[in-house]
Amino acid sequence: MNERIVLITGASSGVGRDAAESIAARGYTVYAASRNTSAAYGERIRPLKMDVTSPDSIRSALDVVDSEFPGCGLYALIHNAGTVVPGPLECLDENLFSRHFQVNVMGVHSLTRAALRMLRKGNGRIIMIGSINGRIAKPYIGAYSASKFALRAMADAWRMELEQWNIHVSMIEPGSIKTPLWGKARIEMQGLIETLDDAGRENYLSSIETVMKAAEKREGRGLPAARVVKSVIRALESDRPKASYLIGASAVIQTCLASVLPRSLLNRLIISQFGLSGKRYDS
Ligand SMILES: NC(=O)c1ccc[n+]([C@@H]2O[C@H](COP(=O)([O-])OP(=O)(O)OC[C@H]3O[C@@H](n4cnc5c(N)ncnc54)[C@H](OP(=O)(O)O)[C@@H]3O)[C@@H](O)[C@H]2O)c1
């Protein structure tokens, strides 16, 4: 059987959903994995139930692919599922902090390990959706940034370890994208505010509100998901896929600034971009 099978995680919305549709339209058979499989997809897309934080769920999902296309293997594995729970680091308890790592880092590790046999079989490649926040940390999304930094480190290590089997590992590193992610993040932030004690409210409430307003403005200027999908397809089809695809002018500018500015000045710029200058930071 000569099927080119692509498995993409987090395909129920945003970038993952657009990517699944665009990749299927190019003739691939796409397994669209997510926890919620109620989304209606076009032809050549097979919804696949998978929670990337559960090794059992990962195993069952891969068994489905293997049984529907026995011996075919995977042409590509696209790690796109991601989560963000914004909030000052002091206000994130261990559960909220580690949720980023369970989905954005450990989920990628577990699924990659479990899929390697199929990737070797299909001469496959791996694509990971990182973020500019995995190169430059931001306040009030520190846990998310930390997880995307970790993902970037892991992508580099996987790339070097898997080179001997010709399994390429590419990272897509976009700036802000217009997707439901930040709407979900706002709901999480609202939930977090409700759990703050008196000291938490006194220390952070006004800053959180300022940051949320600044984030809403930035969100409106986010990249269309299609722009990110274009690079995913490049990484999928190129004979020599790049290690990293930095997407959008904002991501490129931030990376350039980070390479030339002293860290203290870069931090100041980011603080002011988040609407936080003039607060206690300047005293
Ligand atoms: N939006 C941005 O500004 C931006 C910028 C840079 C990078 N990114 C990255 O782009 C990727 C896609 O995000 P998006 O913006 O398209 O957000 P999105 O619309 O919220 O999509 C996130 C996807 O992840 C899935 N997901 C979450 N937890 C999961 C779990 N435990 N197991 C399996 N799937 C899970 C969600 O599906 P279910 O809830 O149905 O499982 C959903 O399909 C993420 O890795 C994100 O970090 C986004």
Domains of the chain are 5-248 (3.40.50.720)
- Percent of the chain beyond pLDDT 70? 98
- pLDDT score at 254: 97
- The one-letter amino acid at 154: M
Whether 129 lines ligand 1, by a CB cut-off of 6 Å, is: yes
Instruction: Indicate which atom in ligand 1 lies nearest the CA of residue 132.
Output: 6
- pLDDT score at 249: 96
Whether 174 lines ligand 1, by a CB cut-off of 6 Å, is: yes
Per-residue pLDDT tens over the stretch 180-217: 998 899 999 999 999 999 999 999 999 999 998 888 87
Task: Check residue 133 and report its DSSP letter.
Answer: G
Cα(48) to centroid(ligand 1), Å: 15
Q: Which of 73, 103, 80, 67 is closest to 9 using CA atoms?
A: 80
Whether 254 lines ligand 1, by a CB cut-off of 6 Å, is: no
Give dist(CA 257, CA 276) in Å, integer: 19
Whether 86 lines ligand 1, by a CB cut-off of 6 Å, is: no
Cα(179) to centroid(ligand 1), Å: 9
Q: What does pTM read for this prediction?
A: 0.96
- Paired with 276 in beta bridges are none
Per-residue pLDDT tens over the stretch 69-106: 999 999 999 999 999 999 999 999 999 999 999 999 99
- pLDDT score at 43: 81
Q: Which of 130, 134, 145, 132 is closest to 87 using CA atoms?
A: 145
Q: Which of 246, 241, 269 is closest to 257 using CA atoms?
A: 269
Whether 9 lines ligand 1, by a CB cut-off of 6 Å, is: yes
User: CA 185 → CA 41, 52, 131, distances in Å?
Assistant: 25, 19, 15
Instruction: Indicate which atom in ligand 1 lies nearest the CA of residue 225.
Output: 16
Asked whether the predicted pLDDT for residue 238 surpasses 70, the reply is: yes
Instruction: Indicate which atom in ligand 1 lies nearest the CA of residue 79.
Output: 45
For this structure, is 204 an active site residue? no
Whether 7 lines ligand 1, by a CB cut-off of 6 Å, is: no
Instruction: Give the active site residue among 28, 31, 140, 144.
Output: 144
Q: Are 196 and 204 in contact (CB under 8 A)?
A: yes
Give dist(CA 89, CA 247) in Å, integer: 27
CA nearest ligand 1 atom 17, residue = 181
**Please, which pLDDT band fits residue 283 given cuts at 50, 70 and 90?**
very low
Instruction: Indicate which atom in ligand 1 lies nearest the CA of residue 172.
Output: 7
Sorted by sequence, the CB contacts under 8 Å of residue 183 that are 6+ apart come out as none
